[in-house]
Amino acid sequence: MSFNPAHLTGKKTDLEWFLNFYTNSFGGDISVNNLHSFTGHVSHEGINDNVDFSGVKLQDITVNGYYVFNKRKFSYPAAFTQSYIQKRSQGSFLLGASFSTGNIKMPANLVNTDKGYDIRRINMTHATLGAGYAYNYVPGKRWLLHLSALPSFVVWKNYDLYSAYRQEKIPWRFLDFSVTARFSAIYSTGFYFFGVTSVYQASYVKADEKISLTKENYKARIFAGIRF
């Protein structure tokens, strides 16, 4: 069980749901977001307009999966769920796939046809395939450090832009990509363990010289636990 400190202070009311599943052979994570706590600006011809972004809404679901080749010597659960103990440094090549679907809705105050930005909604769905590498470093009996990166190319997508008068479909490009990176640092002593884990997800899709979409999502978790 975990909680977001920003929710307790009332600074954020966004819905963010995150589920991880790790085994030595395969695993992944599911991220569900309903976000509306946005700030930012709109740029037109090199001039930034300060506008209210509180009405922007992002809803999306992202599913990532991985397969480990060196499953006998390398353990993802040792770095993220502490259900295994890695005693020696070891790495592994990975295969990965992901699927993401969602939309962004713009409020009326962000629509200005005179300045050329009148996008009302963007529907986003894509699937990726890729390969990467993960490594568990054990510098001593009590420490475990993990770092992995899984870049992927978009193999299928369906992106639609809706404005006041038209619907435009963003064509598929070979250079559209995404990446999932993970980090963890674990300290164990006897039955007790402490640590931090982080998962970073990003995708980049470009339509032409005028329109590109970059979506980033990263979460960090600080924890302490006891092995029974």
| Farthest CA pair distance, the chain | 66
What does the alpha-carbon distance between residue 115 and residue 97 come to, in Å, rounded to a whole number? 39
Nearest to 96 by CA among 121, 65, 127, 71: 65
Residue type, 151: P
Prediction pTM value? 0.81
- Per-run averaged pLDDT (10 residues), the chain, 228 residues: 65 79 91 82 68 82 93 93 91 94 82 66 91 95 94 90 77 81 93 92 76 82 88
What does the alpha-carbon distance between residue 222 and residue 67 come to, in Å, rounded to a whole number? 26
pLDDT at 162: 84
pLDDT at 116: 58
- Two tokens at 161? 């832009």
For Cα atoms 116, 103, 127, give the angle at the middle one, nearest 5 degrees.
115
